[in-house]
Amino acid sequence: MDQPSPDQGTPDKRRPERRRQQDRVRPQPARHAAQPRPISLAHPVVAGYNGSASSRNALAYAAGMARRLDRPLLMVYVTSPGVYCEPLTGQVVGLLRDADSLERWLLSELDQAADASELEVHVRTRRGSPARELASIAAEFSADALVIGAPRHFWHHLIGSVPSWLARNARCPVIVVP
- Pick 92 or 4 by higher pLDDT: 92
pLDDT higher for 109 or 116?
A: 109
Give, to the nearest 10 degrees, the angle between helix 162-169 and helix 130-140: 40
Task: Please write the tens of the pLDDT for every residue from 8-62.
Answer: 554 444 444 444 444 444 344 344 333 444 455 789 999 999 999 999 999 999 9
Q: Which residue has the higher pLDDT, 67 or 41?
A: 67
Residues with Cβ < 8 Å from 170, sequence gap 6 or more? 134, 135, 138, 139, 146
pLDDT of residue 144: 95
| pLDDT above 70: residue 72 | yes
Residue 138 has pLDDT above 90, yes or no: yes
Say if residue 122's pLDDT is above 50: yes
The residue that leads in pLDDT, 3 or 167, is 167
* Predicted TM-score (pTM) of this structure: 0.68
